[in-house]
Amino acid sequence: MTGYLARRNPTVKLALLFAVSLATFFLFDPVTPAVLYLLALAAIVIGARPEPRALAAAHLPLLAFALGILMVNALSRPGTVLWQAGAARVTVEGLEVGAALGARALLIGILSFGFVVCTDAVALLTSLYQHARLNERVCFALVAGYRMLQQLGGEWEVIRYAQRVRAPLGRHGQPKAGPARFGLAAFALLVMMVRRGERVAQSLEARGLGRGARTVWRPVPLTSHDGWFAVAVLGGVALTIGVSVLAGVARGPSALFGG
């Protein structure tokens, strides 16, 4: 992980992610989130230097999701009809609200992507323990959970193979697949991981977790750079929203109800 953003304190980044997401909660116009999205995209490309392929791959589900929202709203929101074909009708209000919600989904999605691509999960948890006073047992239970998550893919694959061996054959001579098979494999995975979790908890306690008064071997830095970064981000967002309010572009939740 390289770049300006990767060097910033993870707790600060998380808090900013939260703050910006909340700030856009009450925005229901398409322009403001779209502008914020473009700003965020620029910031992430410059500050986190993600792989182009990863960036594109992250956009696919986001765009699909946003388009879906746009379409559903356009077709299902009552108001001034723009275009009609039989039972389906597209309304102006539907398009506006749909575009707004879609843009917001894009914004939050790109911010989440940016966050994950420049933040190490374990560093984040350590930082939360150091700076946000997160309970140490919760913190390291989650760190252990991160490791267990890494193991899940492999275990899931083996379980699927193992259960296919005795699965009855379907019409084409292949072992039958389907929700029942998925459920059985899912349950086997759950049993295995619950048992492993109990042993992990024993390991953690055997290592002394929970005594209180711990030191941190490699503390995550929190510097004045992080402070300025926060100011810059919050200021930028506030400015954008302020400008759009002044320009009369911004719309609040009343837009949902045709106001």
Q: Which of residues 78-97 bind another protein (CB under 8 A)?
A: 78, 97
**Euclidean distance between CA atoms 26 and 6, whole angstroms:** 29
Which uninterrupted H or E stretch holds 3? none
Q: How many residues bind another protein (CB under 8 A)?
A: 102
Note whether 210 binds another protein by CB under 8 A: yes
Task: Show the binding pattern over residues 146-175: x = contacts another protein (CB under 8 A), - = does not.
Answer: xxxxxxxx--xxxxxxxxxxxxxx------
Note whether 217 binds another protein by CB under 8 A: yes
The residue (of 127 and 240) whose beta carbon lies closer to another protein is 127
Q: How far is the CB of 236 from another protein (least distance, A)?
A: 18
**Euclidean distance between CA atoms 148 and 195, whole angstroms:** 12
> Per CB under 8 A, which of residues 117..136 are in contact with another protein?
121-122, 124-125
Note whether 143 binds another protein by CB under 8 A: yes
**Euclidean distance between CA atoms 141 and 246, whole angstroms:** 47
The residue (of 203 and 243) whose beta carbon lies closer to another protein is 203
Give the residue ranges of DSSP H helices in the chain. Answer: 10-23, 31-48, 52-76, 92-118, 121-131, 136-165, 179-206, 224-246
Question: What would the two tokens of residue 230 be?
Answer: 């926060």
The residue (of 3 and 120) whose beta carbon lies closer to another protein is 120
The residue (of 35 and 204) whose beta carbon lies closer to another protein is 204
Note whether 191 binds another protein by CB under 8 A: yes
Interface segment toward another protein; rule CB under 8 A; list 40-48, 76-84, 232-240, 244-252: 76-84
Note whether 31 binds another protein by CB under 8 A: no
The residue (of 6 and 121) whose beta carbon lies closer to another protein is 121
Note whether 108 binds another protein by CB under 8 A: yes
Contacts 24+ apart (CB under 8 A), 200-208: 200/144, 200/148, 201/141, 204/140, 204/141, 204/144
**Euclidean distance between CA atoms 202 and 196, whole angstroms:** 10
Is 80 in contact with 91 (CB distance < 8 Å)? yes
Q: Indicate which single residue of 87, 211, 246, 248 sits in contact with another protein (rule: CB under 8 A).
A: 211
Q: Indicate which single residue of 6, 14, 45, 92 sits in contact with another protein (rule: CB under 8 A).
A: 14
Q: Which letter, b or e, does each residue of 194-203 get, where b requires 16 or more Cβ atoms within 10 Å of its Cβ?
A: eeeeeebeee
Q: Indicate which single residue of 31, 189, 222, 245 sits in contact with another protein (rule: CB under 8 A).
A: 189
**Euclidean distance between CA atoms 102 and 66, whole angstroms:** 4
